[in-house]
Structure 1
Amino acid sequence: MLKAVLFDLDGTLVDTERLYLQANAAASAQLGQPLPAAAFQRLVGTGDLRQNAWLQQQFGAGLEAFIRLSDELFEQQLGSVSALPGATQLLNHLHQRGIQLGLVTVSPSTYVNNIVTQQPWPQFDVTVTGEVGASKPAPDLYQRALSQLALPTPAVVAVEDTPAGVTAANAAGLRCLQVHDLAPASAKATAVLPDLVAVAAWLRNA
């Protein structure tokens, strides 16, 4: 029986991945190495950008400057972040059913608080952010959430938008639904669904 649902944040509950890509493209242009936003799509869900070989090849010694400028440009857009279609309805529905809600994200806590407080969502029972363990696809963040919930893994489902997130949830022993958006579909997902409305329908039968 379903007792809890653990959600990723960026690209799963809020439409921020496209803002990231726009910030990446703007930063590359300002640094004199213009690349289109589509070129950065390969970075969606990859974790620590400093470890990304493609970025290192593009920017070399200027990688830190690129990351810093991208972050600054992205933060300027945070006031325009919106929930993805169906997110608010899904969270409220699960909360009303008495199902515990968790947030498991590689993003830092200050950023997460900024995003979440803008939304009309019920309170999350568990929030795990990127400061407390290795980035996805490592299972650390999901393992931390599970330890706080104190529930058996069959009673918990994760919802992610990237293969790295799916891998992290699976490595922690969880079933994982993937909302297929910018990142490629994962063969490891329990189901690959088009949006959160479809996720809600799947969870009703879980």
Structure 2
Amino acid sequence: MTETRRGTRNAKHVIFDCDGVLVDSEPTANRLLTEGLNAIGFATTPAESERAFMGRSWEHMVEVVTERLGTPPPAGLRDDYRAGLFAAYAAREVPAVPGIAAALDGLDAAGVPYCVASSGDHERIRGGLATAGLSDRFDDARIFSADDVGRGKPWPDLFLHAAERMGFDPAATVVVEDSPAGVQAGRAAGMRVLGYSGRTPASVLREAGAEPFQEMAELPSLLTALV
């Protein structure tokens, strides 16, 4: 059941996060990261890892680990993490978020332009979209990574960069996110944020400043109602 508030601001453009919004990769990615962190002596649980790092850049994780351990994590941590993630992609273990293909069909039919802006690097974004069967929805000109800007989420830089390159007016743009850091980034960019609560509790997204919704099938009607 939706918990969004229907408002009067125009929503003419959409920026999607990738992991957890387009591609159902968060469980796999979090498991791999948790295993890797524990292996280097950074004791954490899946729940703790999710709270600390979901939606954030790899560089943020490095800063947190370095502060606690007193030394940067070994370079092999990222190599092993990426190898595990891309193996999951190759094995087709990372599907599209349920309902997202139909939701994108709805936006296409309504003429609402959209792009993706993710904390992952470009190779990871493309790999995730490919394994989820969404590559044809997002060409290179509509893919933006935290690597493209100086600061990742929760800073607004990535969303503002994507909006500028796409010609989107931030005040007329809706961000679709599933992490508190992403919600905060969208709000800081002056954009309205819809929080997909498929895996993240609606209360957490609401507290960060999003308008939560639970079913991706709801998205086209939520967005087109704002156009």
Instruction: Indicate which of 70, 85, 91 corresponds to 1:74.
Output: 85
Q: 1:83 deviation in Å? A: 0.6
Could you tell me which runs of 5 or more consecutive residues in structure 2 were left unpaired when the two chains were aligned. Answer: 1-9
Contact kept, 8 Å, 2:175 with 2:186, in 1: the verdict is yes
Q: Report matched runs for 1:57-72 at 5 Å.
A: 59-61=69-71, 63-64=73-74, 65-72=76-83
Q: 1:68 deviation in Å? A: 3.8
Query: Structure 1, residues 107-140: CA drift from partner, whole Å, max 9, x if none?
Result: 1111112222334445336221122101111111
**Cα 1:174–1:60 shift into 2, 3 Å:** same
Whether 1:182 aligns to 2:216 is: no
Q: 1:58 deviation in Å? A: 6.0
Partner of 1:147: 164
**Cα 1:147–1:71 shift into 2, 3 Å:** same
Count of equivalent residues: 204
Distance 1:25 1:154 in 2: 37
Contact kept, 8 Å, 1:44 with 1:182, in 2: the verdict is no
Distance 1:187 1:31 in 2: 33
* Equivalent position SS for 1:88: helix
Could you tell me which runs of 5 or more consecutive residues in structure 1 were left unpaired when the two chains were aligned. Answer: none
Partner of 1:161: 178
Instruction: Indicate which of 39, 45, 55 corresponds to 1:45.
Output: 55
Whether 1:127 aligns to 2:143 is: yes
Partner of 1:196: 216
Distance 2:102 2:120 in 1: 23
Residue type matched to 1:17 in 2?
E
Residue type matched to 2:187 in 1?
N
Q: 1:151 deviation in Å? A: 3.2
TM-score if structure 1 supplies the norm length? 0.85
Q: 1:201 deviation in Å? A: 3.4
* Equivalent position SS for 1:41: helix
Query: Structure 1, residues 139-195: CA drift from partner, whole Å, max 9, x if none?
Result: 111111111222323322110111111111111111011112237324343411123
